[in-house]
Amino acid sequence: MIYDIALRIRHRYATPASLGRHLVRLMPTDRPGAQRVLNGQLDISPAPDERTERVDIFGNATTDFAYRGTLRAIALDLHVRVERLAPQAPRGASLSLCDMPQALAGIASLAPDAPVHFMAPSPFVPRDATMAAYARARVAPHMTARAAVLAVGGALHADMRYDPEATEVDTPASEAFAARHGVCQDFSHILIGCLRGIGIPAGYVSGFLRTNPPPGRPRLEGADAMHAWVRAWCGPEAGWMEFDPTNDVEAGEDHVTVARGRDYGDVSPVRGVMRGAGRQSSEHAVDVVPLGA
Amino acid sequence: MPASALPRPGGLVAGYCPVPGIPDEMLDAQGRLRPCWAPLIDHIEGLGPRGFPAAIARGEQYLREAGVFFRTFGTTPDTARDWPFSAVPIVLPQRDWAGIAAGLIERADLLEAVIADLYGPARLVSDGLLPAALVAENPEWLRPMVGVAPRGGHYLHFVAFEIGRGPDGRWWVLGDRTQSPSGAGFALENRVAATRVFAEIYGQANVRRLAGFFRAFRDALNGLQGEAAARSGARAGILSAGPMTDTYYEQAYIARYLGLPLLEGGDLSVEDGAVMIRTVSGPVPVEVLWRRMDAHWADPLELDEASRIGTPGLMSALRAGGVTLVNALGAGVVEAQAMLAFLPGIAQALNGRPLRLPNIATWWCGQTPERDHVRAHARSMSISPALSPRLPFETDDTGLAERLRGSDADLDAWIVQSGAALVGQEVVRLSTTPAWQDGMLAARPMSIRVFLARTPQGWQVMPGGFARIGRSADTTALSLRQGSAVADVWIVADRPVGDETMLPAAPVTRARAGTGELPSRAADNLFWLGRYVERTEGLLRLSRALNARIADGGDAALRAKLADLLVSFGAAPSEPLPQAIPAALQAGVGAASRIRDRFSVDGWTALTDLEKSVSRMAAKVTAGTDAALGAGILLRKVAGFSGLVQDNMYRATGWRFLVLGRALERAATMAALLARLTDPAAPTGALDAALEIGDSTMIHRQRFAVMASRESVVDLLAFDPDNPRAIRFQLDAMAAQVARLPQPHQAQAPFAEALAATSARLQAHSPASLDPVALRALRADVLGLSDLMSDAYLR
């Protein structure tokens, strides 16, 4: 499936802000076996005084840009055409939960995809005994990691209410979990906390969802903005699987990946520091349309 | 007779009792005085139990006057603790020291290699020498730094090691300091204090001097700059986390000592991969920063987003190779306690031989056999968080003591459950050294922090260090946790050592870069210091006038008028000396404390003394004569500080901002005073009060020889260009400073123009036309200059 994706972000400052410096992760990259970027462009207005493109440690395309003078608004416009390949069956069998510790101890690698990055607590997903207990109650030691992800993810989807008004970007996952509500970011952080709590390395994926579902299928939650879901490591043979707890589905042809990391902090689409920026307003719109639709 | 066979002398040393089975620095295993201690101990013996305390008092007096302190975070936000100086230095012979130095240089090279590997190919992990999880879970392993090679190739430039001597007499490394080691400045201060205590013998004691080490380090820092910067005479800077850091005093001290600017994250900006200092003359590049800030705070854009003290874009400057950080961001990764479990094996693999100086035996509970070992010996070990960078005796005691009081089964379950988060370490027993206590020498455990600096000639080891001395005879390292004293360390050579100072040996060939550009933040703090001290003076003069009139039962209407005036300045006239007075001065001390590196010891002492006197006086005086006399005393102290500023401070740009602040505050205060007291409706005596508060009673008598009239008072206090109390005089003073300020900067024009316009508007008036309305407008104009000046120089 080939998509034309358009993302539009507008930031406005009530008072002129100076010395702005930003870091954005918006551009999807090639992910062998999953997606290919056919062409893409990120326009930034007004034109920044500095702009650098680079790739971060997790392989995400990162754009740094900065202004010297003052400005009142920033506009970001992304246009990208991506081919999303049909998901493939797992390469091999998932390990059972009780075999995970030994498999993890045997992996002597700090490569970007090595599971070791995704086991420890991370800034947005601190160690959380409540989440671990929630997950433990829904799995058994001989269950495969893959089955555990589906079981815990499904349980979360059933127990939690999707509510775009309930949380902010900096609401702690534990708070969203206690109230059993939130948006894709909360669902994902909570699932990551649950999975790490039962010994499954888990990370965060930011990306886009197809805006209008194929005929006869329900519309997915989170399609009107950037979306987030979870990847989990199921052993050296099965490798990584991706699961979308907000919609209780494995990530498939409707999901286009932008960035991967341990949690939101590693992939945050727009990070910025301005001096003297007072109140600001922002708007954010996404359109993901199959080619020829 | 061999030197080591000196008999054990009597007196003080006879009563000295080392701990059986524990080595002592002063006495050997047979209880004989070690030869290198003999001159020192002879001297103390000679002074006797009454003379030595007097000598110690000289050292303590120096530390008090220099204002040496640690900042501690207690219930009050900034508690400054007295410096716990232990006067008797630790004496080590040069030949022992050479072995220690060689071992520490080897270790510094090892840590450099480990850090370079962890931010590069990570072969230590793939070769199984270091568990991947230990690195990945370490919060000091900074992912944004992976693959970013430091400019010049080195991650480490200045490191410290905590060392101690174990029961077998060997030296051990207790911990590695690579993030931003503190203590070198404290070591210098301890040295100065020790030379005061032992003034009579220090010169002949063959004690190796410290200055050469610092000179080599400063030159190395400046040498890390690119060619162009070095040729232009630019300097390296010290990047501080600011005055709320526990070692800020030390940072300011060492900045002064090395002649390097003390910078905060907000002083810096990044442009096209270069780091710039925001100064009153515009952006000035800086290429080398001695980082005294933990890495997480350094760049809110790519590291901790919550940091308010960092510089956005610093990471991008590192990637562009525009700046060298000393040490590199992420160098703290090797400080974790658990690293001690693997460094011996890594050393064996990389160097092909064991470490010359071992580190304390450590077992990481993330591995099954090691965890089982810790479980089996849990009661006889020290258990700490695996990734904590603290030393064994500094470890945050998060519930550990409680675990140890609980049952064996609970403790065991906790170790199993916490696993990789814990390390077990052998309990270190430290050697003892003499400390002066209750008129005697007592044996106390000690450890030493030793500093190494990378120079073009290789690592240099400071010949000395920062010693910590336990409070009790308990020789387990844990006892240092209950607080310790600090002491100097003397490395004693067999032959006389040369005198060394920071002054260059050869004549200076390269042009000196003046006093350096003034960072905008420092200028801002100096400006406000000037304003606050002047505000203190203004309030004191007003309070004195009011209290004098309370004392003589003067006119109630005039008293009410003066009280109103106090209220208009935010002071409560019901208080004999309003709290607003100490508050203004405290704000001044606050501004000064952010620029400690720009203050001489005398200047700082005068200011803090003044602040203490004002607070004390304000708390105890009663209304009337008592308060009036008290205000008089305080005014003389204020004059003392102002005189110091006027007579002793170098006329650098910073001084001009201090003077600007003072002039602006004085002009605005006088306008407000005249607006109220020269009001035609003001009560009788108001004009005399204005002259008194404006310190112009005598000159008025000489100049006018008549009763004070509204016109004569306004003439003298608003228009007179020769009266330092007059508004005109202060506006002229501001103009004179502005003319000497750096010019090539963006938006100064509005400020200079507004200042000229304010002065012109005043001079267009006559004493008769400058009525209360005009005075109020003038005051608003003067205060408005403050914002314009900020726009021009301080943004």
Mean pLDDT over residues B391-396, rounded? 57
pLDDT band at B50 (very low <50, low <70, confident <90, very high): confident
**Residue closest to B726 by CA, chosen among B712, B716, B736, B737:** B716
Report the C-alpha gap between A173 and A167 in whole angstroms: 10
Interface check for A147 against chain B (CB to CB < 8 A): the answer is no
More confident residue, B105 or A33: B105
Judged by average pLDDT, the poorest of A275-284, B414-423, B497-506 is B497-506
pLDDT tens for residues B425-446? 988 889 999 999 888 899 999 9
What are the chain A neighbours of B133 within 8 Å (beta carbons)? 104-105, 116, 119-120
Report the C-alpha gap between B613 and B630 in whole angstroms: 10
Question: Percent of chain A having pLDDT more than 70?
Answer: 97
pLDDT band at B7 (very low <50, low <70, confident <90, very high): very low
Q: Which of residues 269-288 of A touch B (CB under 8 A)?
A: 271-273
Position B84 scores a pLDDT of: 86
| Beta carbons of B316 and A64 less than 8 Å apart | yes
Answer whether B285's CB lies under 8 Å from B228's CB. Answer: no
More confident residue, B671 or A284: B671
pLDDT tens for residues B117-139? 999 999 999 999 999 999 999 99
Rg (CA), chain A: 19
Residues B703-733 as b/e (b if ≥16 CB within 10 A, e otherwise) read eeeeebebebbbbbbbbbeebebbbbbbbeb
In single-letter form, the type of residue at position B741 comes to L
**Would you state the torsion angle of the CA atoms of residues A163, A169, A171, A174, taken in this order, to the nearest 10 degrees?**
80
Residue the block writes with tokens 């209407």: B557
Answer whether B661's CB lies under 8 Å from B584's CB. Answer: no
Please say if the pLDDT value at position A83 is more than 90: yes
Judged by average pLDDT, the poorest of A107-111, B149-153, B701-705 is B701-705
Mean pLDDT over residues A23-29, rounded? 96
Nearest CA distance, B300 vs chain A (angstrom): 8
Please say if the pLDDT value at position B508 is more than 50: no
**Would you state the torsion angle of the CA atoms of residues A210, A211, A217, A222, taken in this order, to the nearest 10 degrees?**
90
Report the C-alpha gap between B568 and B535 in whole angstroms: 13
| Beta carbons of A273 and B301 less than 8 Å apart | yes
Report the C-alpha gap between A228 and A222 in whole angstroms: 8
Token duo for residue A154? 């499904």
Q: Where are the alpha helices (DSSP H) in B263-359?
A: 314-319, 339-351
pLDDT tens for residues A94-143? 999 999 999 998 899 999 999 999 999 999 999 999 999 999 999 999 99
Position B709 scores a pLDDT of: 93
pLDDT band at B512 (very low <50, low <70, confident <90, very high): very low
Please say if the pLDDT value at position B381 is more than 80: yes
pLDDT tens for residues B317-374? 999 999 999 999 999 999 999 999 999 999 999 999 999 999 999 999 999 999 999 9
Position B5 scores a pLDDT of: 41
Answer whether B52's CB lies under 8 Å from B441's CB. Answer: no
Report the C-alpha gap between B403 and B382 in whole angstroms: 12
Position B360 scores a pLDDT of: 92
Position B12 scores a pLDDT of: 75
Q: Which of residues 114-133 of B touch A (CB under 8 A)?
A: 118, 122, 125-128, 131-133
Position B513 scores a pLDDT of: 44
Beta bridge partners of B384: B423
Token duo for residue B29? 């295993």
Position B479 scores a pLDDT of: 55
Answer whether B477's CB lies under 8 Å from B466's CB. Answer: no
Q: Is B260 helix (H, G, I), strand (E, B) or coil?
A: coil
Report the C-alpha gap between B162 and B159 in whole angstroms: 10
Please say if the pLDDT value at position B2 is more than 50: no
Nearest CA distance, B272 vs chain A (angstrom): 7
Of residues B125, B137, B270, nearest to A108 (C-beta): B125
Contacts of range B629-635, beta carbons closer than 8 Å, 24 or more positions apart: B630/B576, B630/B577, B631/B540, B631/B541, B631/B543, B631/B544, B631/B547, B631/B577, B632/B544, B634/B540, B634/B610, B635/B537, B635/B540, B635/B541, B635/B544
Mean pLDDT over residues B759-787, rounded? 95
More confident residue, B683 or B73: B683
Q: Kindly report the three-state secondary structure assignment for every residue of A177-194.
A: HHHCEECHHHHHHHHHHH
Interface check for B272 against chain A (CB to CB < 8 A): the answer is yes
Nearest CA distance, B137 vs chain A (angstrom): 6
| Beta carbons of A66 and B313 less than 8 Å apart | yes
pLDDT band at B399 (very low <50, low <70, confident <90, very high): low
Interface check for B271 against chain A (CB to CB < 8 A): the answer is yes
pLDDT tens for residues B611-657? 999 999 999 999 999 999 999 999 999 999 998 888 888 888 889 99
Please say if the pLDDT value at position B6 is more than 90: no
DSSP B718: I
Strand B237-240 relative to strand B262-264: parallel, antiparallel, unpaired? parallel
Position B75 scores a pLDDT of: 33
Q: Where are the alpha helices (DSSP H) in B678-748?
A: 686-693, 697-704, 710-714, 727-740
pLDDT mean across residues, chain A:
92
> Could you tell me the CA-to-CA distances from B269 to B265, B357, B697 in Å, in that order?
8, 42, 52
Other beta carbons less than 10 A from residue B127's beta carbon: 12
Report the C-alpha gap between B607 and B614 in whole angstroms: 11
Mutate to test the interface with A, among B114, B125, B367 (most CBs of A within 10 A): B125
Residues B210-242 as b/e (b if ≥16 CB within 10 A, e otherwise) read bebbbbbbbebbbebbbeebbeeebbbbbbbbb
pLDDT band at A191 (very low <50, low <70, confident <90, very high): very high
Please say if the pLDDT value at position B746 is more than 70: no
Report the C-alpha gap between B463 and B447 in whole angstroms: 15
Answer whether B70's CB lies under 8 Å from B81's CB. Answer: yes
Mutate to test the interface with A, among B146, B271, B301, B416 (most CBs of A within 10 A): B301
Residue B193: half-sphere exposure toward Cβ, Cα within 13 Å: 30
pLDDT band at B576 (very low <50, low <70, confident <90, very high): very high
Position A15 scores a pLDDT of: 79
Q: Which of residues 76-105 of A touch B (CB under 8 A)?
A: 104-105
Interface check for A21 against chain B (CB to CB < 8 A): the answer is yes
Position A170 scores a pLDDT of: 83
Please say if the pLDDT value at position B392 is more than 70: no
Instruction: Rank B405-409, B502-506, B751-755 by mean pLDDT and report only the highest.
Output: B751-755
What are the chain A neighbours of B312 within 8 Å (beta carbons)? 19, 21, 273
> Could you tell me the CA-to-CA distances from B764 to B719, B761, B774 in Å, in that order?
10, 5, 11
> Which H or E run includes A116?
none
Please say if the pLDDT value at position B493 is more than 50: yes
Mean pLDDT over residues A81-88, rounded? 92
Report the C-alpha gap between B618 and B632 in whole angstroms: 12
pLDDT tens for residues B455-471? 999 999 999 999 999 88
pLDDT tens for residues B545-574? 999 999 988 789 999 999 999 999 999 999
Question: Percent of chain A having pLDDT more than 90?
Answer: 75
Position B529 scores a pLDDT of: 94
Mean pLDDT over residues B668-690, rounded? 94
Q: Is B599 helix (H, G, I), strand (E, B) or coil?
A: coil
Strand B282-285 relative to strand B171-177: parallel, antiparallel, unpaired? unpaired
Burial of A215 (0-12, 13-18, 19+ CB in 10 A): exposed
Report the C-alpha gap between B426 and B394 in whole angstroms: 15
pLDDT band at B78 (very low <50, low <70, confident <90, very high): very low
Report the C-alpha gap between B167 and B155 in whole angstroms: 34
Report the C-alpha gap between B474 and B470 in whole angstroms: 8
Mean pLDDT over residues A277-291, rounded? 81
Interface check for B421 against chain A (CB to CB < 8 A): the answer is no
Judged by average pLDDT, the poorest of B6-10, B93-97, B440-444 is B6-10
pLDDT tens for residues A239-254? 999 999 999 999 999 9
Position B509 scores a pLDDT of: 39
pLDDT tens for residues B715-728? 999 999 999 999 99
**Residue closest to B25 by CA, chosen among B489, B476, B434, B450:** B434
Mean pLDDT over residues A48-69, rounded? 95
Query: How many A×B Cβ pairs under 8 Å?
Result: 66
Mean pLDDT over residues B94-99, rounded? 95
